[in-house]
Amino acid sequence: MDYRCIRIKRYNEILAVFIKHGFGLLLERLGLRGELEREDKISEAGIAPGEVSVGRRLRLALEELGPTFVKLGQLLSMRQDILPPGVIEELRKLQDSVQPFPFSEVKALIEAEFRDNLENIYMEFDEEPVAAASISQVHRARLASGEQVAVKVQRPGVEKIIDLDLDILKEIARFVDRHTKLKDLYDFSGMVKDFEKTIKDELDFTKEGKNAERFMHNFSRYEGIRVPKVKWIYTTKRVLTMEYIEGIKVSDLKALEEAGIDRIKVAENLATCICNQIFRDGFFHADPHPGNIQVMPDGTIVFLDLGMVGRLNEFQKSVISKFFIGVVFRDSHLVVKSLVDMKAITDQSRVKNFKKDIDALIEKYLTMPMNEMKIEEIFREIFHVAFLNRVKIPREFTLLAKTLGTLQGLLEKLAPDLNALVIAEPIAKKLFYQSFSARKMYGKMRKSLLNYGELLSEFPAAMRNILGKMADEDFTLHFEMKDMEGLQKQLERLFNRVSFSIILLAVSIIIAGVIISSGLSAGTSGEMYIFNITVLKAGLALAVVIVVWLVISIIRSRC
């Protein structure tokens, strides 16, 4: 079967699953129903829309469609700016666990990757996996050195399935953006592009290994934090070998208590570590759910599954700390300014209304103590206001919200009195104030000077190029003025103001001159007359006529 036929078949499978789960009418409105007709082909009676919530129906459909759509749902669970809380809550329940694939396939894939027999690579290899997911599964093994390791093996054929699904998703996104009015609100093509990058990174296990090494370097300054070491000799794009660490799942409160582990200390260390990852390192675990965090008997926290991470450069760290400080101190100006800085608001005419709506939102938190504020709720409300104002929330902000929201959920289990906002506030504040330090300012000035220096060095060559083109007989200059009517009105208003000011000045000088001359004349030979009218009265009358004429001309120009 050729690729086109495979693609059509998969496309129809996707439509059939969504129709089965009660989304047929939505697909029809979007013009995506395609070859599938109404109930004579696919019955929507499987799950009636009124019987089960939209969120649950969406979750069930995504789980049925496999790894690509499970990952897509997990990514959508971060989008509090476009999805209601009920749908977000359901998407967070997405199960990425499936039946493990046979050991024979595991063995064949490892041997193909290393071009050697499995027995020559690992001294021991458990046939039963310790965990299985839609993209990979993990086996316990032992190296020739005797060291125990965890071996993550990619599910055979999953990359081809994901590539096919991505191809279909891109086409659907382009169609919806092109044929509906939803593009300005959602930008489906942009969402699919972000998703493609995320899932492609997760398919390359060497990238996860590099993430682990970077985390290890960053965590070297923290006590009680650990990441499994990568065994690079036994790692490829589809096989990842790391040291095996035995620990207790962070959400298993009973096991933590039986091991004598201080839950409050674990919670404090975990929260401080994640906040430092975000605001200090600019490199953070973007999926810190309980399954990815373990606690060792001595209380050391272990981070697992480092495929999904958030990255922030210096500028983004500064802007996000500004945004966070704005949230903490209920400062709408900082919240709006940070989104403007990140180019989330491209239409400046919307800034005023957006700030007004943020002011109204923040007002409800003005008297609330910080330890009672729910960070996830605040972010959700800010993102909703942003959505209503057509402000596109940058991916970095949604990752921040998801990470801190997940952290708060963990804290509520481990230590209910702890609040992620309270722990994050001093860390974010320190970074925010550091951006105004002499060292930072010097760095910014130095960077600007280097840019200007580079620009000046390129200027002569650029001018020579332009002059050379101008000397060419075929040289043409295209000049386009957009919104001439608006520009003309602005220029007219400016001209009227300048004219009004000049004439008022002239009238003032005339009146002053008339008064002075009248006074001087009165002091010598009496008042001066023009056509039996005193000079003073004539000057005042002239001034009034000029002003009235100018006002009438301005009013006419605005009509």
Would you please indicate which residues are annotated as catalytic (active-site) residues? Answer: 287
Residue 279: closest CA among 300, 238, 308, 310: 310
CB 189 within 8 A of CB 172: no
3-state secondary structure 295-341: ECCCCCEEECCCCCEEECCHHHHHHHHHHHHHHHCCCHHHHHHHHHH
Say if residues 301 and 225 touch (Cβ distance below 8 Å).
yes
Using CA atoms in the order 223, 227, 233, 239, what is the torsion angle rounded to 10 degrees? 180
Per-residue CA distances from 65 to 12, 85, 189, 351 (Å): 12, 23, 20, 40
* Pairwise CA distance, residues 491 & 184, whole Å: 32
Place of tokens 């309270």: 422
Point out which residues pair with 285 in neighbouring strands.
Answer: 309
Compute CA distances 398 → 227, 404, 496, whole Å. 25, 10, 48
- Cβ 284 vs Cβ 403: under 8 Å: yes
Q: How many CA atoms lie less than 13 Å away from 537 in the CB half-sphere?
A: 8
* β-strand partners of 242: 150, 230
Write out the two tokens for 309: 């991470």
State the distance between the two ends of the chain, measured CA to CA, in whole angstroms: 69
Cβ atoms of 225 and 273 within 8 Å: the answer is yes
Crossing angle between the packed helical segments 3-20 and 54-65, to the nearest 10 degrees:
150
